[in-house]
Amino acid sequence: MISMIACVDVDYENTRAVAAGIAFRDWLDDSVVAERVVSLSDIQPYQSGQFFIRELPCLLAVLRFLPPVQIVLIDGYVWLEENRPGLGAYLYESFDSRVPVIGVAKTRYRGAECVQEVVRGKSRQPLYISAVGLSVPQAAEHVYSMRGPYRIPTLLKRVDLLSRGKGANV
C-alpha cells in the first residue's frame, strides 16, 4: 500500500464553509494524487477556545473523499497549551489515534509550548509546527523539506487557495 499524506483547510462565510483537501505521496512532491473540495452548510458559529467544534466536522467531511492517508497536515495547532488539545489533537482522536497530525500555524499562539519554529525560503517569519503521533522535530523536518521557495510550502498554499475558491490560480 502506498502511503498518502493529506493537507486540509477550511474557509468560512457565515454559516457556510468550503473544505479542501489534497493527497500526495512524498514530502518532496509538488504534484497531487487527489484533490477535493466540499461545500458545507449549517456550520457551527465560532466559539473562542472551541474552534474544533466548528472546523473538525469540515475536515472530516473532506477527508472522506480522499484516499486513505497516513498523515494529515492542518492549518493550526495540535496543542494550544500543555494538556489542552487544539484542532489537531481532536482530529487525531477522531482517527482513533492512528493517523498522525501536523499543525502548521502562521502566527504564534502564546500558550503553545510544544512547537518548533521553521523558517523557509527568504522569509524571516517562522511557521509554528506542532504534532501528535510523531515528534515535533520530525514534523518540523517534514514541513521544512516540502517543495516551494516561500514561507508556505506549495502544497499548503494550494489547499488554502482551493478552500477559498481560487483553485484555478494554483
Confirm if 102 and 88 have CB atoms less than 8 A apart.
yes
Q: What is the pLDDT of residues 58-96, one digit of tens each?
A: 999 999 999 999 999 999 999 887 788 999 999 999 999
Cell numbers representing residue 30 in the block:
509538488
Fold classification of 5-169 (topology level): archaeoglobus fulgidus dsm 4304 fold (3.30.2170)
- What pLDDT, on a 0 to 100 scale, did the predictor assign at position 151? 94
Rounded to whole angstroms, what are the CA distances from 22 to 71, 108, 129, 165? 12, 25, 19, 14
Say if residue 2's pLDDT is above 70: no
Residue among 71, 69, 86, 68 at smallest CA distance from 128 = 86
Confirm if 7 and 21 have CB atoms less than 8 A apart.
yes
- Cα angle 127-57-143, degrees, rounded to a multiple of 5: 20
- What pLDDT, on a 0 to 100 scale, did the predictor assign at position 169? 41
Q: What is the pLDDT of residues 148-159, one digit of tens each?
A: 999 999 999 999
Cell numbers representing residue 5 in the block:
499524506
Q: What is the pLDDT of residues 17-72, one digit of tens each?
A: 999 999 999 999 999 999 999 999 988 777 766 778 889 999 999 999 999 999 99
- What pLDDT, on a 0 to 100 scale, did the predictor assign at position 149? 92
